[in-house]
Amino acid sequence: MSLSLAQLLQRLPVTLALCAWMVGAFLVEVALGGATDLDTLVRLGAVHGGRISEHGEIWRLVTGIGLHGGWLHLVLNLLALVQLGALTEWIYGPRRMFSFFLVCGIAGNAVSVVGNGSWLIGQVGASGALFGLGGVILGLAWFGADPWSTQLRQRVARVLTFCLVFSLLMGTLPGLLGLPAFFDNWAHLGGLGMGLVLSLAYRDPLNAESRVDHRVFVGMLSLLVASLISVGIRGEAALDELALEQAMLLEHRAESSADGMMRAVFVQQAADAYTEASLSDSEERVTALIDDCSAETLRPLVVLWWQDGEQSPWLHQALEEWVDVAPDDPDALNALAWSLVTGPEVGRDPERAEALVDEALALVDHPDSSYAEPEMFRAAAFDTRAEALRLQGRMAEALQQQRDAVRLGRDQDIAELEDMEARLKELEAAQ
């Protein structure tokens, strides 16, 4: 039997009100800059470890519950709230359900701040509160009074346990694989633990609401209103230091990641963030970050910066570091050589580029070389040498070298063949 909106409001007023809060907050996010924009989320009250511990912005533990980092995040939490919230409200009543939701959400965010420390920036979502409601239901099924305990164990306990455990595993797995976490298990565990505690305190939902319940409800409602007012008064103050904090967070993630692509991504993001922050020591910070990279990280880092279209101001430094840590890597030598003939004019050095190409080709042509695709490398190296010769004014040599590069490129079906052929036409036209 379908229910009208008026009947739903009468039966589940708090669940629907919380849904409205989350949807309304999301629309504000979109209007002010986007649900994935860190500045917008922090301005609107996202959980921020440093602002809470150093500036006393405790209200962020509340306001972060209603914010979400995208449509999918919002929809998934709304679906969970409609189910867990409705069940909790039906069993315990609207006032207790509201208090449970807010207390569990605050507990989850508080545990997250303790677990993540000042590196927690921009945490949003109601998952801690939802895990708390799940804890309340599970605790009632395990430890509560009948008839609730028996009915819940038979109908929902097994499925709910599976969902909660699966979500916790999804939050743990990325860390085991050396990837950034998609879920905050600190918040999940904090909310779940508080929910279990509440279920022990309210083992019999049939007990009438007491004055304490009423006072807790009024206190939680007042806290929510006060927190939302605090967003309007103090939310924007956090933006003053956000660029630096974000850069430091990305640097921390880079240092915490295993060598390879993931670390390269964080190094690139941290370098760009430090550049945008325009600090007096930005250059020193980025230099130290690049100098700490291994060859396994520098290779994808160089590719990432090259893919940006315009050469990053840090690209050449990364190339120099790559050659320094892997002097016998032909790819590193040729990549640096290419940068020396195609980068900013002030830094070009065709003579050194030619020498680097000669060194790289000698490594590939060595009898003990195990380079996987030597002919494809020769095509790229000849292309680099041709550009170095052109910049030195040795046009006849450059033309012959470019012809050799195009010939090998055609044989190997190299991806850069079209660009090689264009450079060959330019050299032929210059003769």
Domain boundaries, the chain: 5-241, 327-431
Cα separation, 294 vs 361, whole angstroms: 23
pLDDT band with cut points at 50, 70 and 90 for residue 8:
low
Choose the weakest-confidence range: 111-125, 178-192, 245-259, 390-404.
178-192
Q: Is 73 a catalytic residue?
A: no
Mean pLDDT calculated for residue range 231-248: 86
Q: Is the pLDDT of residue 308 over 80?
A: no
Q: Which residues contact 330 (CB under 8 A, 6 or more apart)?
A: 360, 361, 363, 364, 371, 377, 381
- Is residue 188 part of the annotated active site? The answer reads yes
Whole-number pLDDT of residue 343: 83
Cα(7)–Cα(148) distance, rounded to whole angstroms? 24
| Distance separating alpha carbons of residues 63 and 86, to the nearest angstrom | 22
How far apart are alpha carbons 19 and 66 in whole angstroms? 9
Residue 123: strand pairing partners: 47
Instruction: Report pLDDT digits (tens) over 328-360.
Output: 999 999 999 999 998 888 788 999 999 999 999
Residues 126 and 20: their CA atoms lie apart, in Å, by 13
- CA–CA dist 128, 368 (Å, integer): 58
Both tokens assigned to 426: 């330019």
pLDDT recorded at residue 21: 96
pTM: 0.76
**CATH number of the domain at 5-241, please?**
1.20.1540.10
Catalytic residue among 99, 112, 127, 149: 127
- Picking from 78-87, 143-152, 176-185, which range would have the lowest pLDDT averaged per residue? 176-185
Catalytic residue among 188, 199, 312, 316: 188
Q: How distant is the alpha carbon of residue 42 from its chain centre?
A: 15
Which tens digits make up the pLDDT trace of 24-45?
999 999 999 989 898 999 999 9
d(CA 121, CA 53): 12
* 314 Cβ contact partners less than 8 Å away, ≥ 6 residues apart: 271, 275, 286, 290, 305
Say whether pLDDT at 310 is over 90. Answer: no
The owner of tokens 């990432």 is: 304
pLDDT tens digits, 160-211: 888 888 888 887 776 666 556 667 889 999 999 999 999 999 988 878 777 8
CATH topology of domain 327-431: 1.25.40
pLDDT tens profile 203-234: 888 787 778 888 999 999 999 999 999 999 99
Compute the C-alpha angle 108/111/117, nearest 5°.
Answer: 130
Model pLDDT, residue 195: 95
How sure is the predictor about 136, in pLDDT bands with cuts at 50, 70 and 90?
very high
Q: Give the Å distances, CA to CA, from 41 to 56, 70, 91, 110, 248.
A: 18, 11, 34, 18, 18
